[in-house]
Amino acid sequence: MEQPHINIKNKKAAFEYEFLEKYVAGIQLLGTEIKSVREGKANLTDAYCFFRNNELWIQGMHIAEYRWGTCNNHNSRRERKLLLTRKELNKLERKSQDKGLTIIAIRTFLNERGLAKMEIALSRGKKLYDKRQDLKRKDTERELDRVRKI
């Protein structure tokens, strides 16, 4: 049986942040959580990562309660552990201490084995003028695409 293609993105992240480095991490999920993710019922809009006891955790990721979960259902906004190698964790922890840098979730997807993975990025918040430049660039690209079609 082929796995459904799940790709849940944090669209606001690319507009609000400049990505410096990207990593792919595993997510430690409960049974009802992975079932909800496979149905595409997750949201990364307010998700961010932090370190506790030299481990990386994600806060603010919403995974809807599983429809058939009965009393064993999960808390939809609980903190979840992210799984990276020790070398990557140490590097991220060092770099995230710098002023203005944070770790945010970009997207959640299922790999070819059906395991939930999360793409995270070490990022810096954009200034207002950076956001304006991005909007201007997108508008000009859209106009050029329109002209090319005609």
- Walk along the chain (150 residues) and give the pLDDT tens digit of each residue: 455 577 788 888 887 888 888 999 999 888 777 888 888 888 888 888 888 888 889 888 888 877 776 666 666 677 888 888 999 888 888 888 888 888 898 988 888 888 888 999 988 887 777 778 888 888 898 988 888 887
Question: Global pTM?
Answer: 0.74
In this structure, whether the domain defined by 7-149 belongs to CATH 2.40.280.10 is answered with: yes
Query: Token pair 């003028």 is at which residue?
Result: 129
- Give residue limits of the domains in the chain: 7-149
43-58 burial code (b ≥16 CB/10 A, e <16): bbeebbbeeeeeebeb
User: In sequence order, which residues have a C-beta less than 8 Å from that of residue 100 and are 6 or more positions away?
Assistant: 124, 125
